[in-house]
Amino acid sequence: MKNELGITVKKMENFSKWYDQVVTKAELADLRYNVKGFLVHKPLAVSAMKKMYYYFERELEKRGHKPVWFPAVIPESNFKKEAEHVAGFIPEVMWITHAGSKKLSERVALRPTSETAMYTMYAKWIRSWRDLPLKLYQSCQVWRYETKATRPFIRGREFYWIEAHDVFATRNEAEKQVIEDMKTTKAVMHEIFGIPFFQFQRPEWDKFPGAVHTYAADIIMPDGKILQQPSTHMLGQNFSKAFNIKFKNKNGQEEYAWQTCYGPAIWRIFAAIIAIHGDDKGLIFPWEIAPIQVVIIPIYKSQNKDLVLKRCVEIKDKLKGLEVYIDDRDEYTAGWKFNEWEMKGVPIRLEIGMKEVETNTVTIFRRDEGRKINVSDANISEYVEKVGKELSANLKRRAESFMSNMVRSAKNLKEVREALKKGGFVRVNFCSIDEDGRACAEKIKASLHADVRGKRIDVDEKPEGNCVVCGRKAKVVVYIGKSY
């Protein structure tokens, strides 16, 4: 790989351009498909996202969810049942009107989200308290004809996610589910993928259409802007009333059920992993989701080629159970290969040449630290695994440190304005995230082009003082940021 083929901009200097270069040059996606806003996902991205699905699905199943597959199409009449929901989604819905040469009697929507598909069936399935709780999820795509600019893995007209839809007999159980969902996000996104976040209760004016409350994880991107990550919603009885989801309680009386839904958007979390962990050379995949965990580069002259390649295969055999690739392509130099696999984020590179063959050693290059070490090949398997885990822990630590440096407190609007220039979150006292706080949030939006992201739910914070906008006594501490 010649230099101009690598990443040519620094991540912290021009994040936007860096991100686009990484997506294209590391071959995650091809944006040239001839329907606008639709991506072709290339093998590197698909392999990583398949692993991400695995970790989320494992966590959901551990917590009692079971998998389902619902149709990708939803009749228009289903959509109209919940007023706020239809209003929120219908501007972006793609409509199927014809099959073959025939017009359909009722047009059907390509699902933008599956509430209105699933809850018609939930109404048939749920009869008594014995059928509850019902906890189901599907891993699928959804389609939203976005009017905002699309961005690979961040906003698109087709994206990949998981949606979990749960039903309970009581409000209390539904509220516990919301907390469980937030724990699931933490257990996977933070603990395994190394992406720290704040968990917010969104203000009244920024809820999921049809929800009673929305809770969402937010991260800070390298450019200082906020990107929403998995959200979970307390739906209350809004949908159960609209879709007639009732159950007989233990006393034989009919009640409307309580519902929640949870949407870990694999696509967006992948964007976070690219953005947060990457560096000026390109991607760095955490060990757990790397499509290739270890690349072995043979270094040889023609007279010792066979010897070196044989050792490479021996080492690969010792690394059984890991994703290992021997890059023995003849048409590229070792240096070219180093650059390519660094750009593509392979956590560990092993270099094997005559020196290594003669001394029974392997030279290990660790992608995050960028330094080499020569070790005996006797315990290479344990050693590589240990280094892989250290790399993940290091990525997580770096991300946590970046995030904590991007949170600032402010006591008045002037301070908010100054803090926003540095990016990240600005922590302020605020009158209210209920309807009566909307006017203050709109002032912030209009004057500072920033959003009130809500009140943190992962820590308990008490306001001391007055609202940073209207000066009324503050009821909450909120976080403000410029968002994607």
DSSP 390-438: HHHHHHHHHHHHHHHTTEEE-SSHHHHHHHHHT-SEEEEEES-SSGGGH
Minimum CB separation from a second copy for residue 105, in Å? 10
Out of 2, 32, 371, 421, name the contact with a second copy by CB under 8 A.
32
Least Å from the CB of residue 120 to a second copy:
6
Q: Binding a second copy by CB under 8 A: which of 23, 26, 28, 93?
A: 93
Nearer to a second copy, 113 or 432 (CB): 113
Residues near 455 by Cβ (< 8 Å), separated by ≥ 6? 200, 201, 433, 461, 476, 477, 478
Q: How far is CA 355 from CA 299, 358, 371, 403, 444, in A?
A: 10, 5, 18, 43, 63
Minimum Å gap between C-beta 154 and a second copy is 16
Please state, in angstroms and rounded to a whole number, the distance separating the CA atoms of residues 4 and 324: 27
Question: Which residues have C-beta within 8 Å of that of residue 246, sequence separation ≥ 6?
Answer: 123, 126, 240, 254, 255, 256, 257
SS3 13: coil
> What character string, x for contact with a second copy (CB under 8 A) and - otherwise, covers 151-190?
-------x-x------------------------------
CB of 101 or CB of 251, closer to a second copy = 101
Considering only 17, 42, 248, 389, the residue that binds a second copy (CB under 8 A) is 42
30 binds a second copy (CB under 8 A): yes
CA distances from 37 to 109, 153, 154, 158, 263 (A): 18, 11, 11, 7, 21
**421 near 432, Cβ under 8 Å?**
no
Identified binder of a second copy from the candidate list 1, 68, 187, 354, rule CB under 8 A: 68
Cβ atoms of residues 79 and 109 within 8 Å: yes
Q: Which is nearer to a second copy, 58 or 445 (CB)?
A: 58
Among 1, 72, 375, 470, binds a second copy (CB under 8 A): 72
- Closest contact distance (angstroms) between CB of 95 and a second copy is 4
Cβ atoms 395, 286 nearer than 8 A:
yes
Strands 361-366 vs 348-352: parallel, antiparallel or unpaired? antiparallel
- Closest by CA to 441, choosing from 408, 465, 476, is 476
Answer for which of 1, 9, 94, 375 binds a second copy (CB under 8 A) is 94
- Residue span 324-343 as binding mask against a second copy, x where in contact by CB under 8 A, dash where not: -------x------------
Q: How far is the CB of 148 from a second copy (least distance, A)?
A: 13
Query: Toward a second copy, which CB reaches closer, 27 or 223?
Result: 27
- The yes or no reply on residue 43 touching a second copy (CB under 8 A) is yes
Q: How many residues does the chain have?
A: 484
Q: Which residue ranges make up the site for a second copy (CB under 8 A)?
A: 30, 32-35, 38-43, 46-47, 50, 66-75, 77-78, 90-101, 107-108, 110, 117, 120-121, 124-125, 130, 136, 141, 143, 145, 147, 158, 160, 331
